Structures are given as C-alpha cells and as structure tokens.
A = this chain, B = another copy of it.
Amino acid sequence: MTFPEALEQKKSAIDRLIEEHLRKEEGYASLLIEAVNYSLRVGGKRIRPILLTEANRLFAGEVMPEAGTLAVALEMIHTYSLVHDDLPAMDNDALRRGHPTTHAKYGEAMGILAGDALLNEAVEVAFSAVLSAEDNERTCKAAAMLFNKAGIGGMVGGQSADVLAEKRNEFIEEEKLNFIYENKTQALIEASVMCGAMLAPKASKEDVRALGRAASCIGMAFQIRDDILDVTGDEKSLGKPIGSDERNGKSTYVTFAGEEGAKKRIRELTDEACGIVSRYTGEDDFLIELFRFLAIRDI
C-alpha cells in the first residue's frame, strides 16, 4: 500500500469512529446537534486523531479501543476551536476548507453553542473512554493531559495571545510568536502523540517524553509550513485566500527567518522528529512518512 492509500485508510477509520459518536438530529435540540455534526463532518484531515492512534499502535501493536475513543474526543476539541476561531468576533471567516463555516450556516448564536457543545461532548466521550478502559487510571491520566494541553496552559492560552495581538494590531516579537506557536498549534499536536503513547502499558515515561519531543518538533514544523503556505500556497487547493498574514501586517516565522530560513528550520525539526520515532518504528514507518508529509504538505 502506498502512503497516500494508507493515510486515506486511516482517515476513513477515524471518520467511522466519529460517526459512531454522533447524536441523532432529533428533539428540541436538533438544530444544535445538526450544527455539531456538520462541524465534525466537514472536510477535516483528521491529522491529530491519526497521530494519536498511530502513536498508540507503535507501542500497543494494534490500536487500543480507548485510544480510538480519545481520538474522537481530540478531534472534537480541535473542531470546537475551529468553530469558535471562525466567529465574527474572532477571525470572521465565512469559509473553511471550501465549505461555509458553522456560524455562516447556522447563525452566530448557534456557532457559539455548537462550539460549547463540541467541547462538552469531547469531555463526555473522554470520560466514557476512562470508564470503559481496562486500566482506568492510565486512561484518566492520558485524558487529563489532553485537556491540559487544550486549556489555558496550552491551546486557549496561545489563541488568546494571538487574537489579542491581532485585535490591537501590534507587532509580535519573536519570543511571543514562539509562545503562540508552542501553545496555539503545537500543544495539541504534542498531546495527540503523547496521549497515544501514554495509553499503551508498554510505553515507559521516557518513551512518552521522547515521543512528546518528536511531536513538538512536528507541531512547530506544521505551523511554520502554514506560514510558508500563506506566502506561496495555491488558493484553490488550500480552500482559503493566501497572503492574509502580510496584508494584516502579521509577523510570522517567515518574517523573522525568511522563506529559505523557514524551510531549513522545517527540515531540521522534521529530521529530529523522524530520528526519534525511527528508534521505535522498526519495519512500520507510517508515522515517519506522516511526519515528512506534514512538513512538506501543500494543503
């Protein structure tokens, strides 16, 4: 099987798992449920849940049921953050991946509530994973770590610094830019991989730490790639306009290192991440191919 075929297969497996966790669109809250399901279905690449399940497979041999369930919770967390990011008071985006954003389709109030419902749903799914797991405590620690990285000390914290700088139209110095990257994007990608490893009884604390380091490299490379795509990407395949960072006077990694410097940094980060993971992968190198794919992606 080629890498794109394998990736597509794993994406379909995640899509099926997500479908199993969707609620029926019925009753007085049916429009909210419809907005939640729409947000979860519309065009996600499922990178984070694939990272979680593949990191889990690396140590557990096959994907543990609780890893599949927490992967769904993780995608719900990621999706809620996109739904709220797109709101008029935030990035005010009407399109994402070529489709109307949730608030554009269902109205602003429903956009807020659908995001809230998605985060709450992620919690409910995570608790169900803990309660049905063979090892409750191990699963609980992995789930708690996910939400730590999604919260004030991670994703939401990074997002707040980003939004605030944008609203105030302020120049972001390099130290703050690193803070935003490490928290807004990298934290949840790091959490994905660490969570998958933590769930496997075979993975030691050192293993989890090593995988976490690899994932933080990939998370940073992923974000820098985003910056490059905003300069050189193809609007049609990206499904969004390019050049918006420069138009908005927004400093990015490219501002500080230039396009070549940014590409070099991505190569270094990817090499480090792949070097770490290759110590574990043996024959199965899907995760390494995925890391390299994320670093050179065009979408």
Residues in A lying within 8 Å of B, measured CB to CB: 23, 27-29, 31-33, 36, 80-81, 84, 87-90, 107-113, 115-117, 119-121, 123-124, 127-128, 130-131, 136-137, 140-141, 143-144, 147-148, 150-152, 156-161, 163-164, 167, 176, 179-180, 183
Residue in B closest to A162 when the chains form the complex, CB atoms:
B28
Q: Nearest chain B CB to A187's CB is how many angstroms away?
A: 12
**How far apart sit A36 and B117, CA to CA, in the bound complex (Å)?**
19
Which residues does chain B contribute within 8 Å of A27, judged by CB atoms?
A: 157, 179
Indicate whether A31 sits within 8 Å of B152 (C-beta atoms), given known contacts A109-B89, A119-B119, A120-B119: no
- A108 to B89, Cβ gap below 8 A? yes
**How far apart sit A121 and B123, CA to CA, in the bound complex (Å)?**
12
**How far apart sit A137 and B127, CA to CA, in the bound complex (Å)?**
11
Indicate whether A116 sits within 8 Å of B113 (C-beta atoms), given known contacts A36-B152, A127-B140, A176-B28: no
- B152 to A120, Cβ gap below 8 A? yes
Which residues does chain B contribute within 8 Å of A117, judged by CB atoms?
A: 151-152, 156-157, 160
Q: Nearest chain B CB to A40's CB is how many angstroms away?
A: 12
Which residues does chain B contribute within 8 Å of A180, judged by CB atoms?
A: 28
Residue in B closest to A130 when the chains form the complex, CB atoms:
B140
- A148 to B124, Cβ gap below 8 A? yes
Which residues does chain B contribute within 8 Å of A119, judged by CB atoms?
A: 116, 119-120
Among A27, A90, A152, chain B packs the most CB atoms within 10 A around the CB of A152
- A113 to B160, Cβ gap below 8 A? yes
Which residues does chain B contribute within 8 Å of A120, judged by CB atoms?
A: 119, 147, 150-152, 156
A sample of 30 inter-chain contacts (CB < 8 A) reads A23-B152, A27-B157, A27-B179, A28-B157, A28-B161, A28-B179, A28-B180, A29-B152, A29-B158, A31-B160, A33-B152, A36-B152, A88-B89, A89-B89, A89-B107, A89-B111, A107-B167, A109-B164, A110-B163, A113-B156, A120-B147, A120-B150, A121-B151, A123-B123, A127-B144, A127-B147, A130-B130, A136-B137, A136-B140, A140-B140
**How far apart sit A47 and B107, CA to CA, in the bound complex (Å)?**
32
Among A112, A150, A176, A179, chain B packs the most CB atoms within 10 A around the CB of A112
